[in-house]
A and B are shown apart, each in its own frame.
Chain A
Amino acid sequence: MNMALKILHSSSRKKGNETVTYEHGNDTGIVQFAYGKYPIDYALNFEGLVLSMDLENGFYHYKRAIGDWKTDINVSIDGGHMLIHPVEPLNLPDNFTDFMEIKFNPIRIEPSGKCVVFLTMPIEIGIFLESKKGSVDILDIVSYVYPKYSLYGGSNRGVITRFHESKVYYYPPSMKNFEAGLLKLEIENKSDEWATVGRVVIYQKGLYLYFDQNFVAASAEMTIISSDVAVVTGINAPVCPDMTPSNRLFKSRKLSPFYNVTGMLNDTSYTMDMGLI
């Protein structure tokens, strides 16, 4: 079943608002969100998310509403584009962690064994503004998914994580690309003993999101060193060809310079040394 997604799209300021209807869909019949690059005065109405950028008195006025959650922002920009991209789900309600944790049904892996599984991961939607000179900055972040946080490890040396539970899929499942993304996880047990894996913790810098018209995806590999220690590394490669890389938020975010001192920014890996289940 192919359902129509109606998008209000004004391509030219002088012409006024012109309504154009785009058709989105895939074989599963799920209505998918249209990520991409749009004119600065773009307007959108999709699954309860309503946003618009209107020119008023020489200023752009950005309005966004999803349910009762609303935002109004005045923007001073001379033309440019609006980019709507999926972003790592680490920003709502506040950005206070750089780690995403996905819990799944435990998988038992033999010594020196390898497997590839697909997991779902939450998605947040970033609205970026791109100036004519190409400077890009984040304007707004929304999400259809209710966030939940957790603690990986103990309170003394653990990390707060954005928590998500997923089933284990051996083939990519169909999903709504505005609610969930796909994480392709390659697990390799390099230890000499059987290992059980039931969760994966990914560092923000290792989350390379790609999207196309049907889904959002990221890849990571998990190398098990011992039965309760593994290194999770993000892979900067699309799951399928012709996918578009998402704008990354960590470039826009002003992180503490001490992150550089400790080398965290130079590494897309995270060592899970506080258990794998």
Chain B
Amino acid sequence: MADNTTTEILVGNDLLDTIFFGEITYGNVLAAIVILVATYVIARVLSVVVMRFLAGKVEINNSTFLAKLVRWGVYFVGIVAASPFLHIDFSGLMVAGGIVAIAIGFASQNTLSNFVAGVLLMFERPVGVGDNISVNGTDGYVEDIGLLSTTVRTYAGIYVRIPNASMFSSDITNYVAHIARRFDYDIGIRYSDDADKAIKVIKDVIEKHPYALKNPGPSVYVDELGNNSINLKVRIWSPSGFWWDVRTDMLWKLFQALRKAGIDIPFPQLTLWYGEEAPKPPKVTKGAGGGFSPQEVLGKSEASPENALKVIK
């Protein structure tokens, strides 16, 4: 098609019809040059467009590689388009190339699938360099996202290379994909302690921490009346990049603040009953209802097993 059009354009021009070399005329050479120059310009423009399109979406090395791939692809198309004018027949080469390509394709099936997965990962971007992720049982930081594989540095500093095909088909947990995340504490206090006071103490400590976010606000509440303690649930939101620091920093501060306020964390305890010895009837108190007084049941009993035994007896 291009050959016929060019021939029509060049008809009637003696210079262009003049033989340059073999069967190649000056017109053919000119047409080939025009096509190659146009190819060069289009390739450059397209590579810039690709770079701009991918900027911020993929790593700079990968976007450069893809831009080069596009550029060389356009060069290839341009050379093939210009070849008829220079009477170069690529058909035999194309057949051979096709066969070779099929052979290479079969041989490098995994590599190609990794490459395609890599390109898809770049566009989908479930993870980014530096993200804190878990994939296929590997937890760590993303070091690099290549076209064939993704490199992860585990928390122990171990280098792990994950093929992109595996990465693409796996469940990925990205701990820092969202800008903030929540973490929880379960804190048990004694039954003798004032839960409202404990909640206030905990909230005060949270309020003073800069990275315990004001909004969404922390949530502190009595979650469970456990066997040995009143269990408080503490839920704190923090910037994703700092949540672990906040979590490790604040737990000890909470403990210190609670202890300073006279609120302690009880030990697990077990009350033993001996079959031969019948339990004594409960001591009647002055208040209505009888039974144990709150001080007896809830007072110091959970702090020491001896006291608990005394109360029961």
Interface residue ranges, A against B (CB under 8 Å): 92-94, 96, 146-152, 155-156, 158-160, 163, 258, 261-262
> What residues of A have a CB within 8 angstroms of the CB of B56 in the complex?
258, 261-262
- In the complex, 8 of the A-B residue pairs with CB atoms within 8 angstroms, ordered by the A residue number, are A92-B210, A94-B242, A151-B213, A155-B178, A158-B180, A159-B179, A160-B179, A261-B56
- Note all chain B residues with C-beta closer than 8 A to A158: 179-180
Contact between chains at B215 and A151 (CB < 8 Å) = yes
Among B55, B208, B239, the residue within 8 A (CB) of A160 is B239
A150 touching B55, Cβ below 8 Å = no
Question: What are the residues of chain A within 8 A of B214 when measuring CB–CB?
Answer: 148-150, 163
A146-B208, A160-B213 given; name 12 further pairs at CB < 8 Å.
A92-B210, A148-B210, A148-B214, A149-B239, A150-B214, A151-B179, A155-B180, A155-B181, A156-B179, A159-B179, A160-B239, A261-B56
Contact across chains for B216 and A149 when beta carbons are under 8 A apart: no
Q: Compute how far the CA of A151 lies from the CA of B208 in the bound complex, rounded to whole angstroms.
A: 16
B237 at the A interface (CB under 8 A): yes
* B-side interface size class: 10 to 19
Least CB distance, A49 to chain B, in whole angstroms: 19
A177 to B180 CA separation, bound complex (whole angstroms): 32
A96 touches B241 (CB 8 A): yes
A96 and B210 within 8 A (CB): no
Nearest 6 A/B pairs, CB to CB: A150-B214, A258-B56, A155-B178, A155-B180, A147-B210, A150-B215
State which of B179, B208, B211 has its C-beta within 8 Å of the C-beta of A155.
B179
**A261, B181: Cα distance in complex, Å:** 28
Chain B residue at smallest Cβ distance from A97? B239
Q: How far is the CB of A97 from chain B (nearest CB, A)?
A: 8
B154 → A minimal CB distance (Å): 24
Q: Which residue of chain A lies nearest to B207 when distances are taken between CB atoms in the complex? A: A148
Complex CA–CA separation, A150 to B56 (angstroms): 26
Residues of B within 8 A of A151 (CB): 179-180, 213, 215-216, 237
Q: A92 to chain B: which residues have CB within 8 Å?
A: 210
Residues of B with C-beta under 8 A to A148 = 207, 210, 214
A residues less than 8 Å from B181 (CB atoms): 155
- When distances are taken between beta carbons in the complex, the residues of chain B under 8 Å from A93 are 210-211
| Contact residues, B181-226 vs A (CB, 8 A) | 181, 207-208, 210-211, 213-216
* Cβ–Cβ contact B215 & A156, under 8 A: no
Q: Is the beta-carbon distance between B210 and A149 smaller than 8 angstroms? A: yes
Residues of B within 8 A of A146 (CB): 208, 210
In the bound complex, CA of A151 to CA of B215 (Å):
5
Chain B, Cβ-Cβ closest to A258 = B56
If A150-B215, A151-B237, A262-B56 touch, does A160 touch B210 (CB 8 Å cutoff)?
no
CB distance from B144 to the nearest CB of A (A): 17
| A156 → chain B closest CB, angstroms | 5
Per the bound structure, the CA–CA distance linking A93 and B239 in Å amounts to 13
Q: Report how far A160 CA is from B239 CA in the complex, Å.
A: 7
Distance, CA A261 to CA B63, complexed state (A)? 15
Question: In whole Å, how far is B109's beta carbon from the nearest beta carbon of chain A?
Answer: 35
Residue among A147, A148, A156, A258 facing the most chain B CB atoms (10 A cut-off):
A148
Task: Give Cα A158 to B239, complex, Å.
Answer: 11
By a CB distance below 8 angstroms, the chain A residues around B242 are 94, 96
- Best-buried of A93, A150, A159, A261 by chain B (most CB within 10 Å): A150
Q: Which residues of A contact B241 (CB under 8 A)?
A: 96
Residue of B nearest to A158 (CB): B179
Known contacts being A149-B210, A149-B239, is A160 close to B215, with CB within 8 Å?
A: no
Query: Which A residues are in CB contact (< 8 Å) with B179?
Result: 151, 155-156, 158-160
CA distance A94 to B241 in the complex (A): 11
Minimum CB–CB distance from B60 to chain A (whole Å) comes to 9
B110 to nearest A CB, angstroms?
Answer: 33
A163 touches B215 (CB 8 A): yes
Distance in angstroms from B10 CB to nearest chain A CB is 46
Assembly CA distance A258 to B211 (angstroms): 26
User: Nearest chain A CB to B278's CB is how many angstroms away?
Assistant: 59
Q: How far is the CB of A32 from chain B (nearest CB, A)?
A: 26
Chain A: minimal CB distance from B250 (Å): 14
> Within the complex, what minimum Cβ distance (angstroms) separates B174 from chain A?
12
Distance to closest chain B CB from A233 (angstroms): 23
Q: Which of A94, A147, A159, A258 contacts B55 (CB 8 A)?
A: A258
Nearest Cβ on chain A to B105's Cβ, whole angstroms:
36
**Cβ-defined contact, A96 with B239, below 8 A:** yes
A149 near B211 (CB under 8 angstroms)?
A: yes
Closest to A165 in B: B214
Complexed CA–CA distance, A11 and B24 (Å): 85
Q: Which of B207, B210, B241 gathers most chain A CB within 10 Å?
A: B210
Cβ–Cβ < 8 Å partners of A156 in chain B: 178-179
| Nearest CB of B to A31, in Å | 26
Query: Which of B178, B208, B241 is the most central at the interface, judged by chain A CB atoms within 10 Å of its CB?
Result: B178
| Residues of chain B contacted by A149 (CB below 8 angstroms) | 210-211, 213-214, 239
A147 and B207 alpha carbons, distance in the complex (Å): 10
Q: How far is the CB of B53 from chain A (nearest CB, A)?
A: 11
* Interface membership of chain B positions 75-114, coded 1 if the CB is closer than 8 angstroms to chain A and 0 otherwise: 0000000000000000000000000000000000000000
